[in-house]
Amino acid sequence: RLQEMTSSARQLAHLALARLQRSDTQGAAEAMASIQALPPLPEAIGEQFWQRPEQRVQLCQTGGVGFCTETLIAALALQSFLERGILTPEVPSAWLVGVQDYDDELYLLGIISAVRELERYAVNRGQELDLRS
């Protein structure tokens, strides 16, 4: 169940990134809303595993939570930058693992991915001669 949820969320986050690259903010917002409708991590992992931090991190590492959260943060950061000029978004609590070091690592990886997406966005806008962006 966890892998199914993270796979869906990651696909939706990639969809949001692709739509943001095309300046489709409405489409990106719809994809992000679909991610928010998914069950939170504690529910997907199960209460018995959520109570044990070591098992929680191990399940998150093997269940694709890291890649998913990194992509989600990249999409949130790019969306935030394009809408408000702020590259550091708030991470939804439903996607926090609750282990500070692991959450920090995923956040930093997501911001690095967002910077790469921003670079790609700038190149695409330059090729389109979109001077407003």
Radius of gyration (C-alpha) of the chain in whole angstroms: 15
In a domain, 132, yes or no: no
- Asked if the structure places residue 18 within a domain, the reply is yes
The gap between the terminal CA atoms of the chain, to the nearest Å, is 40
Reported as a pLDDT band with limits 50, 70 and 90, residue 132 is low
CB 77 within 8 A of CB 91: no
Residue 33 lies in a domain: yes
pLDDT tens digits, one per residue of 10-62: 999 999 999 999 989 999 999 999 999 999 999 988 888 889 889 899 989 98
Structural domain containing residue 57: 2-127
Q: Is residue 133 part of a domain?
A: no
Note whether residue 96 is domain-resident: yes
Those residues with Cβ within 8 angstroms of residue 36's Cβ, 6 or more apart along the chain or in another chain: 92, 94
Where residue 31 sits, what CATH number does that domain have?
A: 1.20.58.2140
Q: How far is CA 37 from CA 10, 25, 56, 78, 114, in A?
A: 13, 18, 22, 20, 23
Does a structural domain hold residue 17? yes
